[in-house]
Amino acid sequence: MFSTAGRCGALLAVVALMLVATVTPVALGTRVTTTKSGMGVDGFAYPKGIIRLTVKSTEKWQYQPDGIILPAASELQVEAAKEGNKWTLHNGDCALTVTSASPQLSFQFSCQGKPLVKATASDNVEALPEVNFTFPAARTMYGLAEHAADLPLRGDAVYEMYNTDAFQYPINSTKALYGAIPFIMAYSAAATSGVLFLNPSETSVRINSEDAAPSCRWQPEVGVVDLFFLPGPTPAKVQRQHASLTGATVMPPYFSLGYHQCRWNYMNTKDCLSVDEGFDQHNMPYDVLWLDIEHTDKKKYFTWDKYTFPDPKVLTTALASKGRKLVTVKDPHVKREGGFAMHEEASKGGYYVKDANGNDYEGECWPGRSSWPDFLNTRTRNWYAEFFHDDRYPGGGRDIHTWVDMNEPSIFNGDKGTMFKNAMHTLDDGHTVSHGTIHNAYSFYSIQAVYKGMVEAGGAKATPERPFILTRSFFPGSQRYAAMWTGDNMARWDHLENSVPELLSLSISNFPFCGCDVGGFFFDTEEELFVRWMQAGAFMPFFRGHAHLDTKRREPWSYSPASQPIIRNALALRYALIPYLYTNFYHAHTKGNTIMRPLFFEFPEQEKLREVQNTYLFGRAILVQPVAQKGATEVTVPLPAGTLWYNYFTGEMATGGTYTMPVDLNTIPMFLRGGHVVPMKLRLRRSTYAARLDPFTLFVALNAQGNSYGDLYCDDGTTFEYAKGSFVHRTFSFSESTLTSSSFTTDTPASNGVFAVANAVERVVVYGYSGKVSKVVLTTAHNAIDMATELDFEQVGATVIVRQPKVLVAADWFIAFENE
């Protein structure tokens, strides 16, 4: 660890780049035209062919959310048609044609001459900012997260987007939930494009069913028409373009990819330590213990109940001694109680949202009478961030992280369970704006303040560490700071089954770090359902068990002795996969990729996969279909064509098509994709920290040509040093019967060689090997001299297992397989 002020100042400068968006003004664009009705039409060019178009009044100020779009816009080339009232905006191979024919504006977005999006909007300053879209090159639309519904958007449905506290929400529903990403991906094998409509007011989107091409009607309640056209032409490129605008996922601290144990509520220090010890006694790994609202002093956040948690350091120290962490909930509402320092400061400093009369907005939430910080301005965010600092938060330190719940914001006596729309916010430039105008973005600014506070928590002389934050509510940009979960689901089979399409929709809407309450939040979880949910959770980016206070205790060992080994195996599999998952997060963070991938997303040329929503890719190399039916004895897995697939547990090979397999309670339908190498750690430990020095096993799944490729990314898992090149990144390639380890060469910045990895490779498993192996030889370099060592191996059919090569995973080497 570095402790000099200069070193930490440099690190804080790196971190500051992630927060600079808080003061980024709305970009200046190119004026296309001012219509006769007084509507200003402006165009903006962004990298990768993206074009932005805004339509708003030229006579009055209108709110547009700042800090969400990251890149600077550049000027567009605008070509006016000879006949007038028609303009074409060019950005690389893409063009947006704008036609003004009062009372309507029409837009057509095309790339390489192919029309991708057609849209119309009103040319009337008094009209609502409604837009009709048609996607002439597409067959299916996705997005409009978050909804407990199918992955594809269904015709004749109205999708609501108004962040709300959705109590015991139903599935197969398009009603509003906790977060909103106003984005659509329109897919076909021929062309895929996307549209982001950056308007945070209450919005409904009607999906049409009668049109030949997919079409929809967006109806925001107020605000500006602010459209981003994303050219694709593949789903993966649309995702990366989306990430280039609002930011890629946060780079998670390594521990946060382990299992999280939560309950409303663990009631005291003894209870917490008992749960922690229970995992060890039952040989089940976990990394994070969570505390819900009852740990506080009468629901006053940033406090502790002095009777049940008299010394928080006792708990954090005990967890830290095993490499584990604590998460405490910190909801945004503030209890209005005289003498409570947070409330006193907020009231005197003018940090609260105001009501229509200019007084502090008041409402009911967990503490009773409460008010809400006005996170829309930097001044309030800076003030709120201070409460996360170690010198202000009792028990604070590097081992306590943050859960932000109820930040829609949830208000028990509010309008639709949230803040009245006539409440008023104050912006940095002095403008005031109604809550109804900004509602869906409130949570974005709330977690921006949390992230800032946690990064600064150690003070100017401490090395900044990556925070872990979980948010329930979100808007585009939230993924830069936090993970999310799907809120208060139920312990029912249909909720387990629905969790996959819901998370897939979020994943391809640029929120990769997502998960659900494993086991279901409401109601007691029957044993088989809990086992299946733990197996499914192992393949979700965020993996947390959580339960309502009225449910029976359901720590993973709470079920029968027959189920405990199965649950342990699910946890062990998740922990084995964390090196692979962390590598995928690195690519998502640096390139804008995602983690959970629908089959159509990864195999866009195969349109028949576009309706598949319960089978998916976990990263690029693993296909999984969680069993979500009670009493299942058989499942049919759709395997994409043109690829070899290997049952992870047996090495059995399958080709593309429908694959039917028997299942029992132990079975997880999991397949390795031919052509990919998956690095894993197979030794069962109590936490990610305990496994940090463990050796790797490389699973090499060969394609039809006998080749395979994969990589492994490692850093300290804690700090931001990786952003300055302090990491190790290796590639593994198998071709011509040789497995080669070499340095990954295309990172920006490149590895600076400071960070070192001492882990060895203890096993190589090759699936799909052709021929009978007679010898396996490892070659390494020592003092510039190649050293050859013959290795022990075993071959069973097309599977070859090489044991104990005893070579560093971070070194250059190759292993040659010689046939008889």
Which residues make beta-bridge pairs with 779? 788, 814
- Structure tokens, 75: 């000027």
Catalytic status, residue 331: no
- pLDDT, mean of each 10-residue run, the chain (820 residues): 38 47 54 94 96 96 97 92 89 96 95 97 94 98 98 97 96 98 98 98 95 95 98 98 98 98 98 98 98 98 98 96 97 98 98 98 98 98 97 87 98 97 98 98 98 95 96 98 98 98 98 98 98 98 98 98 98 98 98 98 98 98 98 98 98 96 98 98 98 98 98 98 97 98 92 94 98 97 87 98 97 97
**Strands annotated E in 81-202:** 86-91, 94-101, 104-111, 114-122, 131-134, 140-143, 157-161, 183-187, 193-197
The residue from 42, 292, 374, 488 that is catalytic is 488
Domains of the chain from N-terminus onward:
30-246 (2.60.40.1760), 695-819 (2.60.40.1180)
Residue 19's pLDDT is 53
Rounded to whole angstroms, what are the CA distances from 220 to 127, 703, 723?
11, 48, 39
Put simply, whether the predicted model's pTM sits higher than 0.85 gets the answer yes
The residue from 42, 276, 360, 405 that is catalytic is 405
Q: Helix, strand, or coil here: 44? A: strand
Q: How many CA atoms lie within 13 A of 682 on its CB side?
A: 13
Residue 136's pLDDT is 98
* Residues 147/174, Cβ–Cβ less than 8 Å: yes
Q: How many CA atoms lie within 13 A of 234 on its CB side?
A: 13
Residue 1's pLDDT is 29
Measured distance between the N- and C-terminal CA atoms of the chain, rounded to whole angstroms: 52
- Structure tokens, 81: 């048609």
**Residue 374 backbone class (left: φ over 0; alpha: ψ -120 to 50; beta: rest):** beta
Catalytic status, residue 123: no
